[in-house]
Structure 1
Amino acid sequence: MNAKKLYVLIAVAVIALIAAWYIHSSNAPQTGVSARAAPVLPELHGHINDVNAITLTGADNKVLATLKRGADGWTLAEKSGYPADLAKIREFLIKLDQATLTEAKTSNPQLYAELGVDEVKDAKATGVRVTLGGLAKPLAILIGNYNGAGGGGTFVRREGEAQSWLADGNLTVAKNTADWEQRTLADIPSTRLRTVTLTNPDGKTLKIYKDAQGDANFKVADVPKGREAASEFVANELGSVLSGLNADDVFPAKDMAPPDKTWKDEYAAFDGLIVSITGWEQGGKDYAQFDARLDEAAANAQVDAEQAKAKADYEAAVAAANQKVAEEKSTTGAQAKANAQAASEVAKPLAVSDPAKDRSDRLAALTKEVANLNKTFSGWTFALPAYKFSDMTKSMDDMLKPLPQKKAEEKKSAVKPRK
């Protein structure tokens, strides 16, 4: 090959390389172009509280969640108007409001899928179209992939624009409809509970109890001969079901009714609150319905006990203050006067100064708690986490163990024969 032909081939190769580079760079996502920290959605800024609807749409134009704000707060249309998670909604809107554009990316539709900002009408789309209502005009944005491997941020594309962007923060959207439900059902600590009575589908009953409100552990009632509690805290899981109780999912009660045979749990508090649970298994999942009521006799008895304690504590505090004054008779002047003043100003609790109002306030608070619980419970069937359902369906056998031989013999010998 002569030198002239060699130069021609080299020139052709260089031109081909330049052309290939140009085509690639024109199609590739743009990087390094600063957005100068412009807001992702400037129309949202300062208007979060105006938003009254959020629609989340996923692949194949499937609506994932329709969230609406009404007189009773935010609800989820796909769950028959069940309350939505207000904290989750607010957190999401704040993130959108505060997010800024950090870097321009591709405007080539053929590359949108790489960032997750392709149109959701595509059955393979991975992003979520977010539409906000209640603003001056409807606002929509495509939320794409999280840029985990590239240092953080989320790829986005505003509706009507070809340009895609990298926005700061994690703006990814929960795609499971149930994730937008208000999951909290109840949070009643076991320290409030006096008894728990469980009746299994076959009618067998298990009861646990506390003798006093300050007891650390529940005891098992009606333990048969030759057996004892497996440990001092074995019943505490059953007693803690209502503490931090969240649902996995929710359904209208009319669409998910209990079968004939169910577990029945009744949780009775020292202060008169009673929560009843009907639980069952179906299709490999665990379901329950709840109801709350107030035992007024128990509530009044608890008020009596608490008022008596408040009175005793107050009288003890007054006596201690007076004793201090008596012991400091030698003190003269301003200090003695201050001590006497302090003794006369021992704070008198409402339970002592106005027992009737104190009782009324306590009972009103309990009545309101029952109403709030039933507002959550009434008309719904809840899917429960497996561990909670396991805790609320314990049996006597789960609680007990055989007595050690020596201990059993000691108990037997301790029984005196009848004359």
Structure 2
Amino acid sequence: MIAILGAIWVMFGEDPARDQGARGEATFEGLADRINDAAGIAVGQGDTTTHLNKVGGEWRVIERDGYKADRAVVNDFLRGLALSERREPKTSNEQRFDKLGLGDDALAIKVLDSDDNALLSFQMGTRKDSPNGRSLTYIFQKKDTRSWLVSGLANTSADPAWWLDAEVLDVAENRFSRISYGDIRLERPLGDSKYVIADLVEGEIAQADWQLRDPARVLSNLNFDDVRKMGNPLTDPVGALSAETYDGLAVRLTLFEISGAVWAQVSADYDADHADEGESGTLPAAPADGAAEAAAIIERTRGWLFKLSDYDAKVLLRKRADFLAGKPTEE
């Protein structure tokens, strides 16, 4: 028997004590039946590792002080693991793993249950998306004899920011009535699609309509690139703005420059009296409970700073001159 096993190893380079697997089999045997037991995820690459824990039904990113993870991203990741199938066996020579992205740059992935028992552990290499919307990825599990090309795995990253639920605001653009920062106030009368600059000085000419709408577009679906706990003392603000809707919601942003990036502190409140004013109107996009909307924004943003994209920061830091196509002529 020893001679036979030795001959197999010499001929095929396979360790008969390990699982060779077969095309069409589940990549992670038995995982589909236990995927709902997942309570921890670790994704490492080089010196960076992201840990996610399931707390009270919500996934949290540990390296971001427990900020909420994007539920859809986590669900896609776990679903892909459960449904993945082996498509094509690849090299068993670990010296050639670099060509498959399974060398030093590979993602080291672990999924744990609530008792910290490993549901699976593997290396994830190069991933390719195909025109039919299906992905193929190179992976290696230590229990296998070789690497494999497998289907179904979702895109993944060891960067903690990649896992975050990046939504800050979700307010329909047509709800905004007034946006103010510094000495500039943009107003939009109810029923009008265009903003105007309040108190234009003689000789000043406003920029094109689409440029006046930029702040509303940015604020209506404000997302962030990263998040951090607010600490004291904060640096002096580099900007501030407020936005009001016809139906009583008010959102305020205070902007700080930290380590070469712009970070926003966000707050909100709701004015029922303003919502009841005749001129405020009621919009189809307005929530049934404006106070609850404001409370949800406060709950999501209190105590946090949000790193803005370069484009969003540029728009929200505009000065009066940035909204003008012409300026008064100096005598």
1:68 counterpart letter in structure 2: N
Match of 1:219 among 196, 208, 213: 196
Q: C-alpha offsets along residues 22-45 of structure 1, whole Å, 9 cap, x if unaligned?
A: 999859xxxxx9823000112221
Deviation at residue 63 of structure 1 after TM alignment: 4.7
Structure 1 CA distance for aligned equivalents of residues 280 and 199 of structure 2: 29
Is the Cα contact below 8 Å between 1:106 and 1:163 reproduced in 2?
Answer: yes
Unaligned runs of 5+ in 2: 1-8, 15-19
Unaligned runs of 5+ in 1: 1-21, 28-32, 119-124, 200-204, 311-360, 406-419
Deviation at residue 379 of structure 1 after TM alignment: 0.8
Is the Cα contact below 8 Å between 1:218 and 1:239 reproduced in 2?
Answer: no
Aligned to 1:323: none
Match of 2:181 among 188, 193, 198: 198
Q: Secondary structure at the match of 2:86?
A: strand
Deviation at residue 228 of structure 1 after TM alignment: 2.2
Calculate the TM-score normalised by the size of structure 2: 0.83
1:146 counterpart letter in structure 2: R
Does residue 1:55 correspond to 2:36, yes or no?
A: no
2:156 counterpart letter in structure 1: V
Does residue 1:166 correspond to 2:149, yes or no?
A: yes
In 2 relative to 1, CA 252–126 (structure 1 residues): closer, same or farther, beyond 3 Å?
same
Is the Cα contact below 8 Å between 1:79 and 1:251 reproduced in 2?
Answer: yes
1:141 counterpart letter in structure 2: F
User: Which has the greater radius of gyration?
Assistant: 1
Measured on the aligned residues, the alpha-carbon RMSD in Å equals 3.1
In 2 relative to 1, CA 231–97 (structure 1 residues): closer, same or farther, beyond 3 Å?
same
Structure 1 CA distance for aligned equivalents of residues 121 and 281 of structure 2: 59
Aligned to 2:5: none
Is the Cα contact below 8 Å between 2:201 and 2:328 reproduced in 1?
Answer: no
Does residue 1:290 correspond to 2:271, yes or no?
A: no
User: Which structure: greater strand fraction?
Assistant: 2
* Matched length: 309
Structure 1 CA distance for aligned equivalents of residues 34 and 292 of structure 2: 33
Q: Secondary structure at the match of 1:240?
A: helix
Aligned to 1:112: 97
Q: Secondary structure at the match of 1:52?
A: strand
Q: Secondary structure at the match of 2:88?
A: strand
Aligned to 1:41: 28
Aligned to 2:63: 78
Query: Whose RCO is larger (CA < 8 A, sep 6+)?
Result: 2
Is the Cα contact below 8 Å between 2:207 and 2:323 reproduced in 1?
Answer: yes
Structure 2 CA distance for aligned equivalents of residues 98 and 385 of structure 1: 35
Q: Percent identity?
A: 24
In 2 relative to 1, CA 303–37 (structure 1 residues): closer, same or farther, beyond 3 Å?
farther
In 2 relative to 1, CA 304–263 (structure 1 residues): closer, same or farther, beyond 3 Å?
closer
User: Which structure: greater helix fraction?
Assistant: 1
Structure 2 CA distance for aligned equivalents of residues 67 and 97 of structure 1: 18
Match of 1:207 among 172, 176, 185: 185
Correspondence list, 1:319-398, <5 A? 362=288, 365-398=289-322
Match of 1:263 among 231, 234, 239: 239
